Structure 1
C-alpha cells in the first residue's frame, strides 16, 4: 500500500530510526524519536505549501510500554504500512 493513501487513524511503522533534526521542542538534535519498526498511528496529514506533492505526517509512535508518545513529523520515506 502507498503511504500517501493512508489517512488519520491508520497504523504505520517506522521504516528506519527517526531522529530529531533539531526541530523538536524538548529534544536534542540527533536524539532517536522512534526506533525502526516502532508502531504508530497517523494523527494528522498534510503537505508542504511550496511543494504540494511532498506529504508530511504527524505520527504518534508507541514506546516499549505501548504508550503513545508525542506527535512526530515524518516524511513518506520514514514510514511503512506493514511491519518489516
Structure 2
C-alpha cells in the first residue's frame, strides 16, 4: 500500500490559477486547447481527489461560479 502525503490545499479554500488552464478534451462543448481559466482567476476548491495510479492529488476548483476544473497542485496557489 502506498502512503499519500497530505494535500496542499483543502476543501473550501480559495485559490487562483498560476497559469492559463486549457481544455484537454474534458469539456466537449469547448474547443480543444481553448482557455478555460485565465492566470490569476480565483476559485474555490470543491473537492479533493487522488489519481491512484500516479499517487497525485487532483483538486476540483469552481471558477466563475459555473465551471469546475480539475487542477494539479502546480496549477493553483492559495489566495492570501
TM-score by length of 1: 0.79
Q: Is 2:77 the partner of 1:75? A: no
Please tell me the root mean square deviation across aligned C-alpha atoms, in Å: 1.4
Q: Which runs of 5+ in 1 are unaligned?
A: 63-67
Instruction: Give the paired residue count.
Output: 74
Aligned residue among 60, 64, 78 for 1:58: 60
TM-score by length of 2: 0.83
Q: Which consecutive aligned stretches of 4+ in structure 1 deviate over 4 angstroms post-superposition?
A: none
- Stretches of structure 2 that go unaligned for 5 or more consecutive residues are 1-6
> 1:77 Cα shift?
1.1
